[in-house]
Amino acid sequence: MGNDMIDLVSNRDLYFRIFIAPQPSLSIEALMELARDKNPDVRVGVATNQNASAELLAKLATDKYLNVRKAVACNRHSAAETLSKLATDEFSDVRQGVAGNPSSPVEVLNGLAGDDDVYVREAVAGNPSSPVEVLNGLTGDNDVYVREAVAGNTRTPVETLSKLATDEYLEVRRAVARNQNSTAETLSKLATDEDSDVREGVAGNPSAPGEALAKLATDEDKYVRRGVAENPNITPEAIALLCFSEDTKIRQDLLKNPAVPEHIRVGLSL
């Protein structure tokens, strides 16, 4: 490590060390020096650094301060062994970090899916690396936000999304409505949902079928109609229904939407 770098990481200004610790431009040697800092906030910065080595992160995983271990748990460069150990941490905040980390081993995510803490299970449900079997199992969770996270996960199977589309809570149905992997059939059903937030989710979904967008273009709720106007896959029929809208915001959304033919956008700008 050069003398200039030594001067940087040894700077007596605590706030400077806190600022520099997360910077990805730091060398491994500089990070090792900062990892020995007496201030835990500096070590948190090192633990979040995407240039930190797996070996250094493994060392910080044993730090006595919760926030340092949590930062290691969230770092994608943490080794599988390190994440496995942190998955048994006494503090749920640390386990939550592991649960949401896409680098966490499958067996670790399997175990955390049954954690007593709802936020840990919610993190597993939203993790894009969670196995399908785990996601399917979490659809029966008692907590609405866990099911909402499953409904919003792009890895959730379409059959499971179809099941969640009938959930009693609008948060879950809305997440299905926004999920681009939802089938046309599922989105068509949700386009008639009693809650406007759910219909708005379908309106803005690029996977929504043309018939659903045409129906939603005449929805009583202006935010639903605006969602259709912003949809990158808006259909000619929906455009025809919206281009003469009295809602200025809808016309502006159509004007900004590259899916709207140029000659229509020119007319809207006049």
Query: Residue 51 falls within a domain, yes or no?
Result: yes
- The arithmetic mean of pLDDT across residues 105-124, rounded, is 98
How far is 90 from 108, CA to CA, in rounded Å? 15
pLDDT at site 8: 62
Confidence (pLDDT) at 268 = 87
Within-domain flag for 26? yes
* Structure tokens given for 30: 């500089």
Classify residue 133: in a domain, yes or no. Answer: no
- What band does 102 get if pLDDT is binned at 50, 70 and 90? very high
Q: What is the mean pLDDT of residues 237-265?
A: 94
Residue 1 has pLDDT above 50, yes or no: no
Which of 184, 168, 171, 132 is CA-nearest to residue 153? 132
pLDDT tens, position by position, 4-13: 455 566 667 8
* CA–CA gap between residue 56 and residue 242 (Å, rounded): 57
Q: What pLDDT score was predicted for residue 257? A: 96
Please report whether residue 262 resides in a domain: no
Domain that includes residue 17, residue range: 1-75
- What is the Cα–Cα distance from 212 to 191, expressed in whole angstroms? 6
Assess if residue 50 is contained within a domain: yes
Residue % of the chain over a pLDDT of 90? 91
- Is the predicted pLDDT of residue 136 greater than 50, yes or no? yes
Within-domain flag for 57: yes
Distances (CA, A) of 211 to 4, 158, 160, 188, 216: 64, 20, 23, 8, 9
Number of domains in the chain: 1
Mean pLDDT of 252-258: 95
User: What pLDDT is stored for residue 13 in this prediction?
Assistant: 86
Mean pLDDT across the chain: 95
How large is the average pLDDT for residues 6-23? 81
Residue 25 resides in a domain: yes
Per the structure block, which two tokens stand in for 176? 């299905």
Would residue 214 count as lying in a domain?
no
Residue 6 has what pLDDT? 53
State the Cα–Cα distance between residues 170 and 94, nearest whole angstrom. Answer: 30
8 A C-beta contact, residue 206 and residue 180? yes
